[in-house]
Amino acid sequence: MTGWIIAAAELRIPRRTSFAAHKMVIVVDPDGRAVRQLNGLASWYDKTSGTWRHKPIGYLSSDRLRAYDTDAHPRPSCR
């Protein structure tokens, strides 16, 4: 398998600040199509349901960065 790319990216929110960031890992096929994306999202453990839940912005000391897998990326091409 050649031509495949695994890329890491970080989007700062607001731009050029250190306030918040959206981190992701993207798998791109040889044709430049994003075929898989792992998103790093702020998460908290819900003791009631016994599962991790994500939220828009992590601001509590108990929040953790966790990866969430998506099968498809909304952009048709990374080129």
Contact 4, 29 (CB under 8 A): yes
The residue segments making up the domain with residue 39 are 5-70
For residue 38, give both structure tokens.
């792992």
Strand bridging mode 34-46 / 20-28: antiparallel
Domain count, the chain: 1
In a domain, residue 76? The reply is no
User: Where residue 63 falls among pLDDT bands split at 50, 70, 90?
Assistant: confident
Domain membership flag for residue 78: no
User: Is residue 77 in a domain?
Assistant: no
pLDDT of residue 1: 57
Average pLDDT over residues 6-25: 79
What is the separation of C-alpha 78 from the centre of its chain, rounded to a whole number of angstroms? 15
In a domain, 39, yes or no: yes
28 to each of 1, 12, 60, 74, how far by Cα in Å? 12, 22, 34, 13
Does a structural domain hold residue 27?
Answer: yes
Helix (H) or strand (E) holding 40: strand 34-46
End-to-end CA gap in the chain? 19
pLDDT digits (tens, 9 = 90+) for 17-56: 766 777 888 888 999 888 888 888 888 899 999 988 888 7
